A and B are shown apart, each in its own frame.
Chain A
């Protein structure tokens, strides 16, 4: 990785070393991320690289580069932080910067939609179909 930390190894919690306590402040110049309503974006907020962002990858450095690169596929803020070993709030601040620069799109989940009965029913249905370790889904027993 550009900042000299070992590459992310998503093989489990133990594989993730402690993130530096000093870097976050430097990287974000001490800014604190807050959404338009003053609240910080939820950890599950989805982030996707734009074509512009991917085109500009070579021009981006360090954390910004890594964030855009890892968001070729949609990622949550938490996933970005974990995979790149960055603090969550650093990712929040940088994701907002990169969104403002047109290099990422940031999709804060609509809370009403998430809590809507139709969405909950779909999650329930999807989860019921998950087989247990013997291969038996929940809706067959």
Chain B
């Protein structure tokens, strides 16, 4: 466009570079269980937040204007990433906590290789929605008990019983603040996803 422009943007010329293949995993669970902390522990960037507007059309139509009453809600999802090599990049997306944003989950989860459902044993039922969701979608997932301050209120067997997940779903205790712990939890999910490809 501007022929006088010098070669000031050499990087621009290599814009034809192929981007990495993005591999997506989803971090899920109830409010305040440590989803963002988990993403932040392993991500090479500070977790980013993006927002999507959800327009809910209220039942009924305004009689005078014939305009459906709409309310717009904004949900936030946060995410981070980890470059595996120049051709491969792992993305971690946290789902919004609210159960009623199930369709927002679809948007985030579509194409994910696996999920990690984080559980706080003091509020076990907060994670039912996430467990149901992954089971229903047939996405490989593991349940990770976030040991807040090293304390777990229930044994893993109690957690398994309470959540009613099959033996095929790995259950583990981890620390959302520890990179190595998050890494190992993600590895459990990836190994499960890999095993599925060999069935």
Contact = CB atoms under 8 A, between A and B. Distances in A.
A51 B15 CA distance: 6
B134 interface: no
Grouping DSSP codes into helix (H, G, I), strand (E, B) and loop, the B interface class, with mixed when no group exceeds half, is: mixed
Interface in A89-128: 89, 105, 107, 109-111, 113-117, 119-124, 126-128
A19 interface: yes
Nearest to B198: A117
Grouping DSSP codes into helix (H, G, I), strand (E, B) and loop, the A interface class, with mixed when no group exceeds half, is: mixed
Nearest to A130: B183
Interface in B154-199: 178-181, 183-184, 186-187, 190-191, 193-194, 197-198
B175 to A, nearest CB: 10
Interface string B3-24: 0010001011101111111111
Contacts, number: 186
A88 B183 contact: no
B67 interface: no
A131 interface: yes
A111 B113 CA distance: 9
Interface string B49-87: 111110000000000000000001010111101101100
A56 interface: yes
- In the complex, which range does the number of interface residues on chain A fall in? 35 or more
B91 interface: yes
B49 A117 contact: no
B32 interface: no
Contacts of A10: 45-46, 48
Interface of B: 1-2, 5, 9, 11-13, 15-24, 36, 42, 45-53, 72, 74, 76-79, 81-82, 84-85, 88, 90-91, 93, 107-108, 110-111, 113, 178-181, 183-184, 186-187, 190-191, 193-194, 197-198
Interface of A: 10-13, 16, 18-19, 21, 24, 39-40, 42-51, 53-56, 58-59, 72-74, 76, 78-79, 81-83, 85, 87-89, 105, 107, 109-111, 113-117, 119-124, 126-128, 130-134, 136, 138
